[in-house]
């Protein structure tokens, strides 16, 4: 009898992998019955960290969104699954244990059936709380292995993680091939080994199209015993996203597997509705290059969604780098030459930082370190001169155990800075906080919500929840949309300076301040000039002293506040934007000398 392969639709991740926002709850309710009518899905990925934060940034209640989005699937027996980041749960930084435990209880009550939990370092200690919490909360526990390709990421390495999480009681394993660089034959061997040792464990494969391996990978894991395959659908499939269900269904059917038929009338309607959501407003926030596959991702191993951000990084630095090269009497470089140099630097940096799987947030750490190395070496300065706090915490082991060994030069840097390596359980460094948030709810006169869901939202995303409650979030999104529409219709965006110079010109500033370094934003959003998140926002003045690695401002992004840190110790000599101005990723907002 033919083995059946079941499909899960990544409707939430399709949007997150392509753009800034996801559909609003009214749109999700509109398309849910059509997805059901397609008849080919046994699972749908409905929510996760970015999904809930995006709803807050819309000015909508994420708890309402999750309940109404999951309800139609629950009614017909289609399972729903969420994605959470282990120690970081639904945000970018570590979460106390009691808040993590409440998350699973809330999500189960809201109609989410499966908790897909991953740790960016594959540290089983960070996953233990996820497995126990999900099971205790009444959810199916699915542990996701963060798949990458390196000398240390062997079948034996991953099976060591599997052994521990099965011991903790997980029900399923997902191969989370977030960059799509997992080699098909390797993934087949890993799947076969899991099924051989733990035949009762359900295996699901998740792979982005990225460099182009994922279709072959899907066939290999199916042949090796996988039970579920994650797929997407047009107009948001392929590129840096996921293969389309039509192609994968046809491939597996031809290979002799039992797969469900696709109601093509419903597929075309779902495709049409998705396009209307894009045309309505979401298309303004989609990066065009995310529709393209790229074999360049094979070598550097970075997630596909980061290709656009890397090119934006390089565009931001290009002028300053060439100015420096001219001052040194050296030949200038083209943007393409710079891109190849950055890919090569990522390949150099990654093993020396212990081969962290290149998934959020560790992909950002490796890329940012490589970029700063490139900046310094092109200026004739040594590598590793600039290592930000988050990357250093990863190096020190505060977020989990690195898969590989640190290079001797990195260990020497730690010693020179007088820092110590952390060997304890990462969760222990973040004490329980729920009582604090319970008191906040009382002080504000806010209802804790059905099944404590409002309490959970405050505890998980405090600042964004407060902005949602105050109405600031909705107002900000409407301005964001208006600005995006204006940008789409304008041939060129000119940065508006706020001090001294009539026009912001990076070369002019560099000439006036040859020893200055640019301060660049790391994500799109609204500028928040402030030195303390909890204090009143204060715009910096020219002459203000700053310290290398310390935050001097923040960007309010769709997933939270992004710190912008001083590239060197010195003083501010130029400020290019004002409070709450819209800023683009990698935009220069100030100079420090």
Give the three-class secondary structure for 229: strand
Q: How far apart are CA 315 and CA 407, in angstroms?
A: 30
- The partner residues of 145 in beta bridges, in order of sequence, read 175
Longest dimension (CA), the chain: 76
Q: How far apart are CA 385 and CA 363, in angstroms?
A: 19
CATH number attached to the domain at 506-592: 2.40.50.100
**Would you say the C-alpha torsion 385, 388, 389, 391 has a positive or negative sign?**
negative
Decide: 74 and 46 in contact? Cβ < 8 Å: no
CA atoms of 284 and 510, how far apart (whole Å): 33
Whole-number CA gyration radius for the chain: 24
Beta-carbon contacts of residue 363 (< 8 Å; ≥ 6 apart) = 179, 302, 303, 306
126: left (phi over 0), alpha (psi -120 to 50) or beta: alpha
Are 81 and 113 in contact by the 8 Å Cβ rule? The answer is yes
Which residue blocks in 198-263 are alpha helix, DSSP H?
214-224, 245-254
CA distance 366 to 239: 23
Say if CB 180 and CB 207 are below 8 A apart.
yes
CA 11 to CA 25: how far, in whole Å? 13
Q: What is the pLDDT of residue 492?
A: 34
Cβ-contact 492, 483 below 8 angstroms: no
pLDDT tens digits for 88-135? 999 888 899 999 999 999 999 999 999 999 998 999 999 999 999 999
pLDDT digits (tens, 9 = 90+) for 352-385: 999 998 887 788 888 889 888 988 888 888 999 8
Number of H-type helices and E-type strands within the chain: 22, 16
List of residues 6+ apart from 377 with CB closer than 8 A: 383
pLDDT at position 490 is 38
As given in the structure block, the two tokens for residue 457 are: 């939202």
Name which of 255, 211, 236 is nearest 3 in CA terms: 255
* Distance between first and last Cα of the chain: 71
Phi, psi at residue 430, to the nearest 5°? -130, 90
Examine residue 361 and say whether the peptide bond preceding it is cis (omega within 30 degrees of 0): yes
Under-50 pLDDT residues of the chain: 490-503, 531-537
Confidence at residue 44, expressed as pLDDT on a 0 to 100 scale: 98
Q: Do residues 176 and 359 make contact, with C-beta atoms less than 8 angstroms apart?
A: yes
Every domain of the chain and the residues it spans = 6-287, 297-415, 506-592
Domain 6-287: state its class. alpha beta
517 token code pair: 């370094």
For residues 527 and 87, give the distance between their C-alpha atoms in angstroms, rounded to a whole number: 28
Q: Are strands 545-546 and 79-84 parallel, antiparallel or unpaired?
A: unpaired
């Amino acid at each position: 009898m033919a083995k059946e392969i079941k499909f899960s639709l990544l409707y939430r991740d399709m949007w997150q992998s392509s753009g800034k926002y996801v559909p609003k709850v009214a749109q999700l309710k509109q398309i849910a019955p059509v997805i059901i009518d397609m008849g080919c899905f046994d699972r749908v990925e409905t929510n996760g960290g970015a999904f809930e934060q995006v709803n807050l940034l819309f000015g909508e209640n994420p708890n309402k969104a999750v309940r109404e989005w999951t309800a139609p699937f629950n009614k017909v027996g289609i399972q729903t699954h969420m994605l959470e980041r282990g120690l970081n749960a639904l945000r970018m930084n570590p979460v106390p244990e009691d808040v993590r435990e409440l998350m699973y209880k809330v999500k189960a009550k809201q109609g989410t059936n499966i908790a897909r939990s991953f740790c960016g370092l594959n540290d089983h200690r960070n996953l233990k709380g996820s497995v126990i919490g999900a099971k205790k909360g009444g959810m199916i526990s699915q542990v996701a292995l963060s798949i990458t390709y390196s000398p240390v990421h062997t079948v034996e390495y991953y099976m060591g993680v599997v052994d521990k999480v099965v011991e903790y009681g997980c029900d399923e394993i997902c191969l989370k091939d977030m960059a799509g660089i997992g080699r098909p034959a390797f993934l087949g061997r890993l799947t076969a080994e899991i099924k051989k040792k733990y035949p009762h464990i359900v295996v699901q494969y998740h792979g982005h199209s990225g460099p182009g391996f994922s279709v072959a990978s899907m066939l290999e894991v199916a042949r090796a015993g996988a039970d579920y395959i994650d797929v997407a659908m047009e107009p948001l499939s392929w590129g840096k996203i996921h293969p389309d269900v039509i192609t994968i269904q046809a491939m597996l059917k031809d290979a002799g597997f039992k797969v469900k038929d696709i109601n093509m009338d419903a597929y075309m309607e779902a495709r049409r509705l998705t396009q209307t959501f894009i045309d309505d407003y979401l298309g303004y926030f989609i990066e065009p290059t995310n529709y393209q596959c790229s074999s360049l991702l094979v070598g550097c191993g970075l997630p596909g969604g980061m290709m656009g951000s890397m090119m934006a990084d390089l565009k931001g630095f290009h002028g300053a780098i060439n100015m420096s090269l001219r001052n040194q009497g050296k030949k200038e470089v083209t943007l393409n030459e710079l891109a190849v140099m950055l890919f090569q630097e990522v390949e150099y940096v990654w093993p020396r930082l212990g081969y962290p799987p290149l998934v959020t947030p560790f992909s950002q750490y490796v890329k940012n370190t490589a970029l700063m190395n490139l900046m310094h070496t092109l200026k004739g300065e040594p590598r590793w001169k600039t290592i930000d706090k988050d990357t250093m915490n990863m190096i020190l082991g505060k977020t989990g155990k690195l898969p590989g060994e640190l290079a001797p030069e990195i260990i020497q840097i730690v010693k020179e800075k007088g820092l110590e390596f952390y060997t304890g359980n990462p969760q222990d460094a973040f004490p329980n906080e729920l009582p604090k948030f319970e008191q906040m709810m009382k002080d504000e006169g806010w209802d804790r919500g059905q099944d404590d869901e409002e309490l959970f939202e405050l505890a998980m995303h405090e600042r964004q929840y407060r902005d949602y409650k105050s109405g600031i979030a909705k107002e900000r999104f409407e301005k964001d949309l208006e600005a995006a529409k204006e940008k789409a219709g304008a041939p060129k965006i000119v940065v508006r300076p706020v001090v001294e110079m009539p026009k912001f010109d990076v070369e002019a500033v560099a000439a006036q301040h040859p020893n200055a370094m640019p301060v660049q934003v790391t994500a799109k959003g609204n500028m928040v000039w402030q030195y303390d998140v909890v204090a009143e926002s204060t715009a910096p003045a020219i002459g203000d002293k700053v310290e290398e690695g310390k935050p001097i401002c923040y960007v309010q992004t769709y997933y939270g506040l992004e710190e912008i840190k001083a590239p060197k110790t010195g003083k501010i000599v130029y400020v290019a934007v004002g409070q709450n101005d819209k800023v683009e990723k990698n935009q220069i907002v100030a100079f420090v000398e």
